[in-house]
Amino acid sequence: MYIGRIVSVAQTPDGRLCAIYRVSSRSFPNRTAVIGADKVSIVPKPGHELDVQKNPYIAYNCVRVVCGGAVAVVTNGSQTDSIAEKIDQGMAPRDAITLSSLLLDYEKDSYNTPRVSAVVDKRDGSGWLGIVRHDGIQVERVALKPGRLCYVATYEENRVLPAYGDAFPVGAVQDACDYILGEGVFAARMNPVTAVAAMSAEGGFNLFAKDAPAE
């Protein structure tokens, strides 16, 4: 089943927070993730830079770490920066996700692609998922449990529901990328391109990115 882009919030079996993003794409698979200082960006692979002229939504910051390393924001679009900056200025995650989703709205492409967003906050141990579709908006605090994840996707599984969850038997940030690319429930989710994970660590979040294996 193809469900498009996926964001997830999770807790490792030993209690560390994790936010994960998977790019899945049928139209623009030639993308990768580049890790910077407290951020990760989705960009076209070398030789495919002109793809942004075909679709301006395919390049963006997908991860920002703010509040002195206490909060990780993971999304499928430019709302990453908006949400992160609002939280960094003192806004609550619920309000930052809601306001940014309302302001930017769903993507005005041929699929009316929803914007999906995730936040994990070490200050209170919370995890949040949000989505804005052409027919509605939803922002929910997720009840995180050790060894479990919750996710929302742009298509099909595009509601924040308890049913969209899975085990999370992951102990390292690189394993989180492997998991969302093709393990557990995600093994049946088609067209993986690249994955990014932010896992809580001493003093902040560890970041990792990995492209899906070539078919």
Any idea what the Cα angle at residue 98 is, between residues 43 and 104, rounded to 5°? Answer: 45
Residues 146, 171: contact at Cβ < 8 Å? no
According to CATH, the topology of domain 6-211 is Glutamine Phosphoribosylpyrophosphate, subunit 1, domain 1 (3.60.20)
Q: Report whether pLDDT(129) > 80.
A: yes
**Measuring CA to CA, how many Å separate 73 from each of 108, 172, 192?**
22, 19, 21
The residues spanned by each domain of the chain are 6-211
Q: Are 118 and 74 in contact (CB under 8 A)?
A: yes
Q: What is the pLDDT of residue 31?
A: 96
Strand partners, 138: 131
For the CA atoms of the chain, what is the radius of gyration? 15
- 168-207 pLDDT, tens per residue? 999 999 999 999 999 999 999 999 999 999 999 999 999 9
Distance CA 152, CA 23 (A): 13
| Contact call for residues 142 and 7 (beta carbons, < 8 A) | no
The candidate with the shortest Cα–Cα distance to 26, out of 8, 44, 10, 5, is: 5
User: Residue 83 and residue 99: Cα distance in Å, rounded?
Assistant: 8
What proportion of the chain, given as a percentage, has pLDDT over 90? 96
Output phi, psi for 187, to 5 deg.
Answer: -65, -25
Residue 35's SS3 state is strand
| pLDDT over 80 at 3, yes or no | yes
Per residue in 7-21, pLDDT (tens digit) is 999 999 999 999 999
Residue 68 has a pLDDT of 97
